A and B are shown apart, each in its own frame.
Chain A
Amino acid sequence: MITAEPLLFAQAPFDRLTDAERRYLLSAAQVAHFPAGAELIGPGTDATHLFVIDTGQVEERVGSELIRRYGPGHRFDLRGLVHGPNDRRYGTTDETACLCVPRLVLLDLIRANAGFAALIYREVARMLDPVASRAEAGQVNALMTARIADAYLQPAVFIDGDETILTAGRRMRDNQTNALLVRDRPDHPHPFGIITGMNLSKAVVLNGKPLDTPVRTVTHAPLVTIRPDAFIATALQLMTKHVKRRLVVTDGDSYLGILHEIDLLAFFSTNSHVIAGRIELATDLKMLEPISTQIMDAVQTWHAQGLKVTILNDLVSELNRKLFQKAYGFLAPTDFRDDACLIVMGSEGRGEQTLPTDQDNGLILRTPVPESALEPFRHAFAHVLERFGYPPCPGDVMVRNPMWSKPLSAFQTEIRRWITLPDEDSVLRVAILVDAAAVAGDHGLLDQLKATVFDCLAGNDAFLSQFARSVDTFASPLGWFQTLVTEDGDQRDALDLKKAGLFPIVHGVRTLALQHRLPETGTVPRIAALRRIQVLDAAFAQDLTEAYEFLLDLQLQSKLTKRDGGTVMDALVRPRLLSAWHRAMLKRAFQITLRFRDLIRHRFRLVMY
């Protein structure tokens, strides 16, 4: 019998949870038993659960240095859950039983219960403080990268100290805010304090002050200010230190707004479950229509929150696939709905398409289906997705195109031809297909199709070599003396991240995955699998993953900026606009890419071309 529950709910912040929330937590949590010497959270790994110890003992270490011991009733690692991986290792010293609360459940509760959330973040902020001062050089972390300007700010509305409580109340109502900045005189630029709705209520209701009392007398001073480019984590620390719920965001002499603790917490809690729920509950196509815009907006928020870009990709591709699956369910005739497999290919299949771009999809049929049933579906599906905000694929790799929606046997024949008698597009097509992931219908059909691709390529070094050759399509942006070489022509000062780094990594990893028959489709999972089968050594796999994630993140950042600016969302970045630190990281990422290209060039004998 587990006894951790009473222990858990007796202590802050879990004592703030309502009964319903406690039941939710318990229903989602699991009890796990670990032998002595087990590693619960390794250094650098993502914490997936909050562990609450029931019996046994756990040690927290950095390297060999013991930081803390945890006994029954203790919990860890809250910091890791909110803040991302760190250098700590949590291992059992005795046989240990733990209550494991999934991270998402915890985040749900944070969103639902503001009091609980406030305490959690206060605790995290407290934990972060020594970390920040320890200056973990080079270690960027999710929370640290989000800035004040990314969060929701209440407007900065002013009131003069001599104005009345009544005026203040009206002004709050008119401006839909519950805090005002109080200044001495209208011509005095700098406010000296802040007044909140709660202050007004207390003054009038509890202290019986008249409504014409000047606000000056109930104003809280001094103001705690913060710059818009400061990190979110700094805001949390300031709030904790000054015991304030609000910070005033200033840039020089201008007052940009008021950051409220609640908004800071909301900032962390946009959850994919809401969108997923909407897809799930949709009863017709009309209800699916706004989803893709919502996904786009959520991406912006998540990214601003400092969510790791690979996790972001996972979330988005999960949502996209749910959406496609639902649409397939509405549109596919029952004749073949369950005897076919809807697949997404290319970047969508790898789960690396953050912002909805082109449709890359296809349909594998178990047996031939009369054109009369198939043709209307082909067009309806492509049309609906286009309406949803997924533009048609320029290469027409779509269900709409009979070439990509046909029986399994026809696909297999064609694949043999692509590989035995390669033509212009063979490499591209194999690349698209090998990244395919099943979305709806009979997933086994895609497995059979992929087995055919792998069989055709087994030992066919010459085709694999021609396939691999594309990693060398573009020159490395690293010039002599390790300078960054930018594009020619009208993009003179820009650098295409896709050409320079992302594509070579994705394609090289894909080629290795093809050679070794890996079922994974994502680049990061493929790298992990290649590491497991010792094709890549552990250290290099790590470097490569980090380089890839860094480039991906930079690309997303650039695209989101461009989305805001209304320009084309391409992968161009301008190195001179980056910080010195980003530029250095960029070079490092390109160095690793270059090393990886060397590996691919050597393994697939690209020297011969």
Chain B
Amino acid sequence: MRYPTFPCLLAGLAAVPSSLTTLPAMADAITGEVERQPLNVAAIVMFLVFVAATLWITYWAAKRTKSAAQFYTAGGGITGFQNGLAIAGDFMSAASFLGISGLVYVSGYDGLIYSIGFLVGWPVILFIVAERLRNLGKYTFADVASYRLGQTEIRSMAACGSLATVALYLIAQMVGAGKLIELLFGLPYEIAVVLVGALMIIYVTFGGMTATTWVQIIKAVLLLSGASFMALAVLYQTGFSFEALFREAAAIHPHGTAIMAPGGLVSDPVSAISLGIALMFGTAGLPHILMRFFTVADAKEARKSVFYATGFIGYFYILTFIIGFGAILLVSNNPAFLDTAGDLIGGTNMAAVHLAQATGGSLFLGFISAVAFATILAVVSGLTLAGASAISHDLYASVFKGGVVDEFAEIRVSRLATIGLGIVAIGLGILFEKQNIAFMVGLAFAIAASANFPVLFLAMFWRGLTTQGALIGGLVGLITAVTLVVLGPTVWVAILGFQEAIFPYKYPALFSVTAAFLGIWVFSMLDRSARSQAEKIAFEAQFVRSQTGIGIATATQH
């Protein structure tokens, strides 16, 4: 028996027109036509109640942190455990929740491989990034990279990388939220996206900008408990026997026992390695994740927080796996969730949402939809924060104003940037409705791994890194990644309609990351300027600080 190739599986998952035969890796996708359904009033009411409750809890938590008896906030910062939850909250997007469970629903074991790919990025952060980032005491990736290098050049480059990553990530969330609202409320997609976008702008400008750690913690707890409940409900059906779960699922699933074995994902070694590199190093280049190490007390807490985050995220992916199999068991043969053609209503990405109804009725459906929605809101607020910071601090204050800027002007720019990002997200969300948004997330990871990670890594570990090298190498990584994706089968063939791809592989990371490292190395070595000498000398102080947290001399001020 021949296993269906992974791209075909994805195509089925996405339920997009069959012309789109090859799809990229990042399958935490929510795509496809959502058919208008009769309104489920009970679910809608529950949804609204839970969203309101979530917002209220967030408000309450933010307020509670402001009614202390002491004048000075106790302790240095957020504890490792809290920060771990917050990181997990930032990382577990609705796309992963709905997308991975949907992927498991369609292809079984391959979905698990996928989620493991996401997890591998975390040890990289644990061993390479977290502790040093905290010791350096910097806020963003741009701050670290420009620690001893030219502010203007590095910040411009870093801002481009951050904005590209953030924008692509945002689109995925927008489309996800749009689809969810479309399904639940029976609204036209465009109106759903505009509604969601407007709500996000309001939330981020007025409420979300306070106590973001709490927002992420609350969201992570909600998502984990909602998913746990669903997984428990599934296991209850099978008498808490995994064996029974898998056996029955394999019996029902059209692919039979094939769902218990690896599929097309690892069939092509270059693509597999390329995907692996994007996932592994992409996480360490995500701007909104890197910002999370700013708030912990010290390096030890930074390490702890990655440890906890990895645990929560791993647990979450196990849950999505169970949920996916549960959906095979409880949803795939229930005519209530299928359309006339026998496909899942709303696309396979709604598998988890349907499962919620199958296990807990309309009430639970409303709850899970609300959790998914709150998740999107929280992820968007983290992303917007990173994007607004790149625009207001890196581009406006440091590059355009040369570091001399009225603080209130920067605040205004930051608020405008938030609104601007929201509007851009709405526009792109509508434009990309028909596109596979997994592709956008994949590109986001690839760009993070190609443009951000090499500069960050070498800035922390290589004495020889110079401004020229970082600038050119970073841009090489960014441009290579974007170009190869455009020339590859996903865009060139599937979207632009050409016969054959100029670049044969779907995932650019193997090539673009290599190009970035090479570019940085070559142009740093070629840099013989006096400035580069000073930068190399400054490495010593930075290195000591990154390893110990102790400043041995007055560091570069900006």
Query: Which A residues have a C-beta under 8 Å from some C-beta of B?
Result: 416, 420-428, 431, 455-466, 469-470, 472-475, 499, 503, 507, 534-537, 540, 595, 598-599, 602-603, 605, 607-609
- Is B504 engaged at the interface, CB distance under 8 Å to the other chain? no
**Closest beta carbon of chain A to B103's beta carbon, Å:** 32
Contact between A427 and B66, CB atoms less than 8 A apart: no
Contact between B550 and A420, CB atoms less than 8 A apart: yes
- Is B81 engaged at the interface, CB distance under 8 Å to the other chain? no
Q: For B76, give its contact among A416, A427, A473 (CB under 8 Å).
A: A427
Contact between A605 and B71, CB atoms less than 8 A apart: no
Q: For A459, give its contact among B75, B76, B406, B556 (CB under 8 Å).
A: B556
On chain B, the number of residues with a Cβ less than 8 Å from chain A's Cβ atoms is 50
Closest to A426 in B: B76
- Give the dominant DSSP class at A's interface: helix
**Closest beta carbon of chain B to A453's beta carbon, Å:** 11
- Is B137 engaged at the interface, CB distance under 8 Å to the other chain? yes
A424–B70 alpha-carbon span in the complex (Å): 12
A599–B408 alpha-carbon span in the complex (Å): 7
- Is B385 engaged at the interface, CB distance under 8 Å to the other chain? yes
CB neighbours of A598 from chain B (8 A): 408, 411
Contact between A427 and B404, CB atoms less than 8 A apart: no
Closest to A463 in B: B137
Q: Report the 6 A-B pairs with minimum CB-CB distance, sorted nearest first.
A: A422-B76, A459-B555, A462-B137, A460-B137, A420-B549, A428-B72
**Closest beta carbon of chain A to B402's beta carbon, Å:** 13
A598–B209 alpha-carbon span in the complex (Å): 11
- Is B283 engaged at the interface, CB distance under 8 Å to the other chain? no
- Is B551 engaged at the interface, CB distance under 8 Å to the other chain? yes
Q: For A609, give its contact among B138, B213, B406, B414 (CB under 8 Å).
A: B213
**Closest beta carbon of chain B to A158's beta carbon, Å:** 55
Contact between A605 and B137, CB atoms less than 8 A apart: no
Q: For B72, give its contact among A427, A459, A460, A535 (CB under 8 Å).
A: A427
Contact between B551 and A456, CB atoms less than 8 A apart: yes
**Closest beta carbon of chain B to A81's beta carbon, Å:** 36
Type the 1/0 row for B53-69, where 1 means its CB is closer than 8 Å to any CB of A.
00000000001011110
Closest to B548 in A: A420
CB neighbours of A603 from chain B (8 A): 407
CB neighbours of A540 from chain B (8 A): 408
A453–B438 alpha-carbon span in the complex (Å): 49
- Is B165 engaged at the interface, CB distance under 8 Å to the other chain? no
Contact A473 to B68, CB < 8 A, known contacts A416-B550, A422-B75, A607-B385: yes
CB neighbours of A455 from chain B (8 A): 551, 553-554
**Closest beta carbon of chain A to B304's beta carbon, Å:** 14
Contact between A608 and B294, CB atoms less than 8 A apart: yes
Contact between B298 and A503, CB atoms less than 8 A apart: no
Closest to A471 in B: B73
CB neighbours of A427 from chain B (8 A): 72-73, 76
CB neighbours of A466 from chain B (8 A): 73, 76-77, 295, 297
Contact between A599 and B213, CB atoms less than 8 A apart: no
> 5 new A-B pairs (CB below 8 Å) besides A475-B67, A602-B411, A608-B213?
A459-B147, A462-B139, A462-B294, A503-B71, A595-B408
CB neighbours of B134 from chain A (8 A): 462
For window 288-304 of B, CB contacts with A under 8 Å fall at 291-292, 294-295, 297-298, 300
Type the 1/0 row for B529-558, where 1 means its CB is closer than 8 Å to any CB of A.
000000000000000000011110111110
- Is B74 engaged at the interface, CB distance under 8 Å to the other chain? yes
A499–B550 alpha-carbon span in the complex (Å): 33
Contact between B555 and A470, CB atoms less than 8 A apart: no
Contact A599 to B548, CB < 8 A, known contacts A461-B294, A608-B212: no
Q: For A423, give its contact among B76, B137, B291 (CB under 8 Å).
A: B76
Q: For B78, give its contact among A428, A475, A602, A609 (CB under 8 Å).
A: A609
A474–B77 alpha-carbon span in the complex (Å): 17
Contact between A472 and B66, CB atoms less than 8 A apart: yes
CB neighbours of B147 from chain A (8 A): 459
- Is B110 engaged at the interface, CB distance under 8 Å to the other chain? no
- Is B410 engaged at the interface, CB distance under 8 Å to the other chain? yes
Contact between A608 and B291, CB atoms less than 8 A apart: yes
- Is B210 engaged at the interface, CB distance under 8 Å to the other chain? yes
Contact between A470 and B71, CB atoms less than 8 A apart: yes
For window 374-428 of B, CB contacts with A under 8 Å fall at 385, 389, 404, 406-408, 410-411, 414
CB neighbours of A607 from chain B (8 A): 209-210, 212, 385
- Is B143 engaged at the interface, CB distance under 8 Å to the other chain? yes
Query: Which of A424, A456, A598, A602 is most buried by chain B, counting CB atoms within 10 A of its CB?
Result: A602
Contact between A473 and B73, CB atoms less than 8 A apart: yes
CB neighbours of A602 from chain B (8 A): 407, 410-411, 414
Contact between A473 and B72, CB atoms less than 8 A apart: yes
A426–B298 alpha-carbon span in the complex (Å): 12
